[in-house]
Amino acid sequence: RENDSSFTRLDLCERNIGALGVSELADALGENTSLTELKLRDDSFGTRGAIYLADALRVNASVADLCLSESCIGDKGVSKLAGALRVNASIAKLDLEYNDIGDGGMSASALADALRANASLESLLMGANYLGDASVGVLVDALRVNASLTELGLFLNRIGDGGASVLADALRVNTSLAKLDLSENSIGDEGVSELADALRLSSSLKGLHLADNRVGDGGVRALADALRVNASLAELDLSENHIGDEGVRELADALRLNSSLKVLHLDENRVGNGGVSVLADALQVNTSLTELYLSGNHIGDEGVSVLADALQVNTSITNLGLYRINFGDQGEVLEGRVRKFIEINEQAASPHVALGQKVELILDSGHDTINDAVSLALAGLERFSESDQRREILHSLLGSPEHGKDVGSFIDLAMWKELYRHAAECGAGRALVNLLRAQPTLCEHRGEEDHGGLYPFMLLATMPTAEVGGVFEVLLTKPDLVASAITMT
């Protein structure tokens, strides 16, 4: 009541102040103008307490975040709060989870009316209230006109295909909802297909949570079709469903085209090595996905092997869930390699830096071949176009005398010329000097396209000043070549 401007948050969760305590609090809220966040979770103040709060919210203009979960409010109490929302203009987040609302419909209708009139509420959490399809249908109908709500939580509400279909109809016209949580319901392929169809049109939805439903390969196929055209969805949670390799193949194909999805949950499904293999192929192309969760699936050593190969190339994945999987000895070794690649992705300043660090890791590893490192470097040179990016990749491959010696002893003349072409274009002098040190006989190559014996001297023209001395050092080991070039000039 004193309106101390520094007093903005009040947490009374699990304090059991009861309806009488809420009555006193509501009286104070009628006068207070500083409190913005009020938490009353797990208090069991019931319908009476909710009525007291509703009366206060009709006049209070400061509280923006109100948590009333697990408080036994019931259908009538929620209806009273919904009535207050019709006039309140400050509440932005309302948490009514676990409140025994049921499927009576009165509170759903009242909340729908409030959403049609209210323009401030952004987050409405109604999880674990067992609303059922009919009540959910009444509630979400308001989404057709509401333009403020960005988050709607409806987990554990006995929603089936019918409720999902009605919700999809509303999503086809809604332009504000960004996060929708439908976890722990009974939505199958039919309902998910309806939601997927709505997703094709949506430009606002960024998070869709369908964990622990009845989604199979058919529903995932519809979602994959939507992902091929949708450009807004950033997180998709399909964990704890019935998705197998066929469904994952559809998702993998969509990931080759999609550039918005950042987080994909596929934990606790029926994904095997075959599904992971096509998913790994997609990861070598996709550059937007940053988190992939595959824990609790049927993945063996073969699956983790293809993931390791994919993450050698992929530079965007920074979190990969592979828990609760029975790997063999080789799988555990490969998982360690996967973790190292992900660590590089996470810590590197940019994608080309990450790829360069992987090239060095492969060169320094006893488990890999030089061919792997050269192939990865060449892939990076084709992928990145900026000179500084390409130069850093070449220096990762050839920047040290040791690496230059290893690579120089492995590659043939055609490969050397290809590396020279890339290095000349981006000025990677140090890389070429180390390669020439390792293979000085390359200086002796004369061909029409190499300007005869002037070839090594033409090379000097492409070198940064700091590297010219290194090239002369190599040339001085070939006095006959130098003399020949001087005679020709």
Q: Which pLDDT score, from 0 to 100, does residue 355 have? A: 96
> Does the pLDDT value for residue 488 go beyond 50?
no
> Does the pLDDT value for residue 451 go beyond 50?
no
A 10 A CB-CB count for 20 gives 12
pLDDT tens digits, 289-341: 999 999 999 999 999 999 999 999 999 999 999 998 888 878 788 888 999 99
pLDDT tens digits, 219-235: 999 999 999 999 999 99
> Does the pLDDT value for residue 250 go beyond 70?
yes
> Does the pLDDT value for residue 382 go beyond 60?
yes
* Burial tier of 298 (Cβ tally within 10 Å: 0-12, 13-18, 19+): middle
Per-residue pLDDT band for 54 (boundaries 50, 70, 90) equals very high
Mean pLDDT of 65-69: 97
Q: Model's pTM, two decimal places?
A: 0.90
Per-residue pLDDT band for 482 (boundaries 50, 70, 90) equals low
Higher pLDDT, 416 or 177: 177
CA–CA gap between residue 242 and residue 213 (Å, rounded): 8
pLDDT tens digits, 35-52: 999 999 988 899 999 999
Higher pLDDT, 457 or 299: 299
pLDDT tens digits, 358-378: 999 998 886 567 888 999 999
> Does the pLDDT value for residue 351 go beyond 90?
yes
Q: Which pLDDT score, from 0 to 100, does residue 411 have? A: 82
Asked if residue 381 lies in contact with residue 355, where contact means CB atoms within 8 angstroms, the answer is: no
Q: Which pLDDT score, from 0 to 100, does residue 334 have? A: 85
Q: Which pLDDT score, from 0 to 100, does residue 295 have? A: 96
Asked if residue 474 lies in contact with residue 440, where contact means CB atoms within 8 angstroms, the answer is: yes
pLDDT tens digits, 401-419: 888 888 877 888 788 778 8
> Does the pLDDT value for residue 489 go beyond 60?
no
What is the pLDDT of the chain when averaged over all its residues? 89
> Does the pLDDT value for residue 123 go beyond 60?
yes
CA–CA gap between residue 199 and residue 56 (Å, rounded): 39
Q: Which pLDDT score, from 0 to 100, does residue 150 have? A: 98
> Does the pLDDT value for residue 4 go beyond 50?
yes
Percent of the chain with pLDDT over 90: 71
